[in-house]
Amino acid sequence: MSKPILVLWLVSALASAQKIAAPAAPAVERSDAWKIENALSAGPESISDGATVMDWPAAKDEEMRVLRKGTNGWTCMPDRPGKPRHDPMCADETMMKWMMATLAGHSPNIDRIGIAYMLQGEAGADQNDLSRRTPPPGRDWYYVGPHIMIVLPDAYKDALRGQNRDISTGEPYVTALSSSSPLLVIPIAKPDEEIVVKKITGE
């Protein structure tokens, strides 16, 4: 008996990633409908279909705005303003706690594993400080392909000791090094590739 299966085509013997030109994030204001579609593209449908969608605050002293209420505890956000390419994210409750605290300059105080998807990839300003909006003087943006991020409880962060920190290798690496809770980033395609989802028939 056959049934439809969703398959992520990755760079492997079993599947493939499709080459694309690195897309530039729009500099113009987008509609809420566009932001919702963009935000949901960050994660697999099994997560994004039931996720809340939040927009970034228009000003530093404002709060994030709910674009769509969800039901599964996940939150998806559209591109961050000012980035040179698309970088929407879908995060679980723990990763949202980590991100909000980190961007505000506070200690996240993480006590459980958190997970986030960025299946459009991202452009980063500073590997050590994810709260930076622009690269440090004399440095340029770095680009990461589609990936998954994991944060460990603070009590277990030493488990990341000795892990790769070189983004250019394409291997899993540790980032947010200045945080009390660094992140493990697991790339699943290169910066100039996109994830292709295809329905197939399996026995």
Give phi and psi for 36, each to the nearest 5. -65, -45
Mean of all residue pLDDT scores within the chain:
85
Residues 6+ apart with CB under 8 A from 61: none
pLDDT value for 69: 98
Average pLDDT, integer, range 175-185: 87
Q: Is residue 44 part of a domain?
A: no
pLDDT band at 200 (very low <50, low <70, confident <90, very high): confident
pLDDT digits (tens, 9 = 90+) for 132-148: 889 999 999 999 999 99
- The total of structural domains in the chain comes to 1
Looking at the DSSP assignment, which residues form a beta bridge with residue 53?
A: 68, 76
Residue 131 is predicted with a pLDDT of 76
- At 86, the pLDDT band (50, 70, 90 cuts) reads very high
Cβ count near 90 (within 10 Å): 26
Does any domain span residue 39?
A: no
Model confidence pLDDT, tens digit, residues 18-76:
444 444 454 578 999 999 999 999 999 999 999 999 999 887 778 899 999 999 999 99
Whole-angstrom CA distances from 145 to 10, 51, 77, 190 are: 11, 22, 17, 5
134 is a domain residue? yes
Tell me, yes or no, whether 10 lies in a domain: yes
In a domain, 56, yes or no: no
| Cβ proximity of 151 and 101 under 8 Å | no
- DSSP per-residue letters across 113-182: -EEEEETT-EEES-SS-TT-SSPPTT---EEE-SEEEEE--GGGGGGGTT----GGG-S-EEE-TTSSS-
Range of the structural domain that residue 135 is part of = 3-27+78-202
Give the per-residue pLDDT at 121: 96
User: Would you state the pLDDT for residue 19?
Assistant: 47
